[in-house]
Every structure is written in structure tokens, then in C-alpha cells.
Amino acid sequence: MSPRRPDLPSLRRDALAADPFAQFAAWYDEALLEVPLADAVTLATADADGAPDARMVLLKGHGPDGFRFFTNRGSAKARQLAADRRAALVVYWRELDRQVRIRGGVEPLSDPDSDAYFATRPRDSQLGAWASPQSRPLESREELERRFAELDAEYAEAAVPRPPFWGGYLLVPATVEFWQGRIGRLHDRFLYSREGGGWSIVRLAP
């Protein structure tokens, strides 16, 4: 964790948004101004034995429906999500001394949603999605570069389509916790939990 910043505001119950999506959007907009890679998040899943697994991914959308990320559907995380839809995201914005923890179920995004995002990616990233058998054994770096070069030539005169094995996921939260670092480790923590058609909010001890 970063050193405590005395200039950061406290997190008060009466200042929180009624739902976690609005609260996250407010914090995210602030992070965009100060954090070099505000979209970097940790995605935690469980393997077939129930052992935890985690890695960094990029958050590629957030709103009232949930939190979005994209990956190869043959990757380790995708295979784990196919077996157990429960997952967690952790966002840590060091420059603001803030953390957001999100837990819930994950569902695949539709093909049109995945197509729409894929079309916005840089061409090299599009080709990379085709070239990389993500999480699978690879004999050498040269093999990966050869595959990339072949695809580059194949799509030299055409738009790169989305691979059928690549797409998006939506994490629909059951709980969202907002953590604001404070001096003396007396941090502010608030937990949003789904309750009926809305959200309950409770303060947690640091």
C-alpha cells in the first residue's frame, strides 16, 4: 500500500451513492485523472480443485449491468469460469489510496457485444488475439511471431474479424466494497450488498 495521503477526503456514509455502480463511476472518473492505468484490475477465479487463481486483466466497461472484461475463451480463466461462474475483481488505485472489491457471478457477453469491442482494438491486438493460444504450452517465441506474421499477411487487405474463441464476460456483483485509506490505519470501508431490488450499505471496521 502507498503512504497515507492526508489530503484525501474521508469516505462518509451520507456522501455515498445509493448504488455501487454510481459510486464506482465517480471513483473511476477521479482515477482516470491521477492513475496511469486505471483499468488494471485483478480477476480471481477458482480452479477445478477449488484452489484460488488470480491475474491482472483490463476492465473494459462498467455500469448498472456489471463489470466487463475480455479474453480468449480457451484461456485458464475462461475454463475456470465455465466450471464455476463465481469470481471476484479487485481494483487498487495507489495514487488515491483506494480499493474496490467486487464479488458475484460471471456470464458471457453476447457475440454482438464482443464484436463491438473487438472492432475498437488496435490492429496488432486483434492479430494477437488470433495468434496466441492463450494459457496453452508454446514451443518458442519464434512460433508465436511466425503465427502473427502469417495472420498479418492474411488480413493485409481486410479488417481483422473477431476470433470465435475470443469474447467478453460480465461480472454481475452480489457485493461491492469501497475502501479509502486513512492515516493510522483507521480506513473507511463500506459494503454494498444486494437486498431485494436495491442495495444495503454498511460500514465495516478497518
Is residue 156 domain-shared with residue 64, that is, in the same domain? Answer: no
Which residues pair with residue 69 across a beta bridge?
169
Q: Give the model confidence (pLDDT) of 179-205 as tens digits.
A: 999 988 899 999 999 998 899 999 999
For the chain, give the longest Cα–Cα distance: 60
Is residue 70 domain-shared with residue 136, that is, in the same domain? Answer: no
Q: Give the model confidence (pLDDT) of 64-107 as tens digits.
A: 999 999 999 999 999 999 999 999 999 999 999 999 999 999 99
Choice among 136, 185, 189, 203 that is catalytic: 185
Is residue 22 domain-shared with residue 105, that is, in the same domain? Answer: yes
- This model's pTM is above 0.85: yes
Number of Cβ within a 10 Å radius of residue 206: 13
Number of domains into which the chain is organized: 2
Is the pLDDT reported for residue 46 higher than 70?
yes
- Catalytic annotation present for 185: yes
Residue 153 corresponds to which cell in the numbers above? 499477411
Q: Give the model confidence (pLDDT) of 168-184 as tens digits.
A: 999 999 999 999 999 88
Is residue 47 domain-shared with residue 103, that is, in the same domain? Answer: yes
Instruction: Give the gyration radius of the chain's Cα atoms.
Output: 19
Residue 168 corresponds to which cell in the numbers above? 467478453
Is residue 196 domain-shared with residue 96, that is, in the same domain? Answer: yes
Grouping H, G, I as helix, E, B as strand and the rest as coil, residue 52 is: strand
Is residue 74 domain-shared with residue 175, that is, in the same domain? Answer: yes
More confident residue, 5 or 28: 28
Whether 5 maps to a domain, the answer reads no
Alpha-carbon span 154 to 156, nearest angstrom: 6
Looking at residues 156-173, what average pLDDT do you find? 97
Per DSSP bridges, beta strands 86-93 and 40-46 are antiparallel
Alpha-carbon span 193 to 202, nearest angstrom: 9
Whether 94 maps to a domain, the answer reads yes
Domain span at 115: 13-119+166-204
Closest alpha carbon to 39 in 66, 21, 57? 57
Grouping H, G, I as helix, E, B as strand and the rest as coil, residue 104 is: strand
CATH assignment at residue 194: 2.30.110.10
Is residue 24 domain-shared with residue 57, that is, in the same domain? Answer: yes
Whether 55 maps to a domain, the answer reads yes
What angle do the packed helices 141-154 and 123-131 form, to 10 degrees? 120
More confident residue, 4 or 154: 154
Alpha-carbon span 95 to 105, nearest angstrom: 29
Alpha-carbon span 102 to 59, nearest angstrom: 12
Whether 108 maps to a domain, the answer reads yes
Write the DSSP string, 90-131: EEEEGGGTEEEEEEEEEEEPPHHHHHHHHTTS-HHHHHHHHH
Is residue 31 domain-shared with residue 128, that is, in the same domain? Answer: no
